[in-house]
A = this chain, B = another copy of it.
Amino acid sequence: MITVAVDCMGGDHGPQVTLPACTQFLEQHPEAALVLVGLPEALQGFSHPRATLVTVTEVVTMDDPLEVALRKKKDSSMRVAIQQVKDGAAQAAVSAGNTGALMAISRYILKTMDGIERPAIAGQIPNATGGATTVLDLGANVDCTAEHLLQFAVMGSALVSVLTNQESPSVGLLNIGEEVIKGNEVIKKAGELLRNAAKSGDLNFVGNVEGNDIFKGTAEIVVCDGFVGNVALKTSEGLASMIGNFLKAEFSKNIFTKMAAIAAYTVLTALKNRVDHRRYNGAALLGLRGLVFKSHGSADVLAFSNALNRAYDAARNNLLDRVQVRIAHAAPLLAASDATQ
């Protein structure tokens, strides 16, 4: 049986969202178990035959500095949830809490895989092909070297390769132009490392891609610095939500537009499904010796249960070992790039 540990206190809404999502998840997956981690008063009253409750005394807040989250709050719901994975009591952990703290604690407790200096957050963004583009890093690392970007490419490639059962998914480097002369120094050097990796057959690198390529689906994996990735993700969410709100307001303007909305119902529902980032909630923290998934802080019940599903699927499909094998296979490549530092 697969068990997922849940930080029930994380996110903008905390237990209000996480607990109903846990119930929903348990109903949908009769083979799964959960470890719910939270303050006693939050977990009080929750009961399910496949749920274990673990109470803690602390919660990591959104504005806790890393040092506080990591060194002072040793009994936080976030840390204890990750510890479940380390101890083998769970095969994956999910949190909607402070991203920086989640990354730091995960790294501290679980450690990184060989050849990986920095774990990255890999999320999926729906694209025009009807599928999704895997983008990393989405915010774990705000100052990346070219070598880190190469590591992200290897990890992202391993992840997508495992999830989609293909040998060599395509990788693009997020840049401000397709030409190799574009970008800052780090990006230019990363392009060099990635082109070398492509020559040696280690990566299916398709070259520079631009922001719009994320939605075109030009490459299955798009690699970028965490600052850039986070801005791209949130900018897209902002635009999608502006368009959603705009359509809602315009279609409810008067009786004619309301009738039009009824007529257009199937199309509008299809659009909503296509751009609804809740469907893709649950980003993988890649490069760790354990599975950790980050939910969007503002996740609602549907979104948070999708993050739980994602963690469950990853654990069930043995994602960790399979990614580790692929990263080990790329070890000479990563070591070579490191030597050029």
Residues of chain A touching chain B, judged by Cβ–Cβ distance below 8 Å, are: 62-63, 65, 100, 127-128, 139, 142-143, 174, 176-177, 179, 181-185, 187, 210-216, 224, 226-228, 230-243, 245-247, 250-251, 256-257, 259-261, 263-267, 270-271, 274-275
Contacts and interface: CB of A to CB of B under 8 A. Distances in A.
Nearest to A130: B246
Given A128-B246, A228-B228, 16 more contacts: A65-B181, A142-B187, A143-B185, A183-B227, A210-B230, A211-B234, A211-B235, A215-B241, A224-B231, A227-B228, A236-B236, A243-B275, A246-B271, A256-B263, A260-B264, A260-B267
Most buried by B among A233, A247, A256: A247
Number of identical monomers bound together in the oligomeric complex: 2
A97 to B, nearest CB: 13
26 contacts: A62-B179, A100-B182, A139-B176, A142-B184, A143-B185, A176-B227, A210-B234, A212-B235, A212-B238, A212-B241, A213-B238, A215-B238, A215-B239, A236-B239, A240-B243, A243-B275, A246-B270, A246-B271, A246-B274, A247-B271, A250-B266, A250-B270, A257-B264, A257-B266, A260-B260, A263-B263
Contacts of A100: 182
A232 B230 contact: no
A238 B264 contact: no
Nearest to A263: B260
Contact of A257 (B187, B238, B247, B267): B267
A238 B214 contact: yes
Nearest to A143: B184
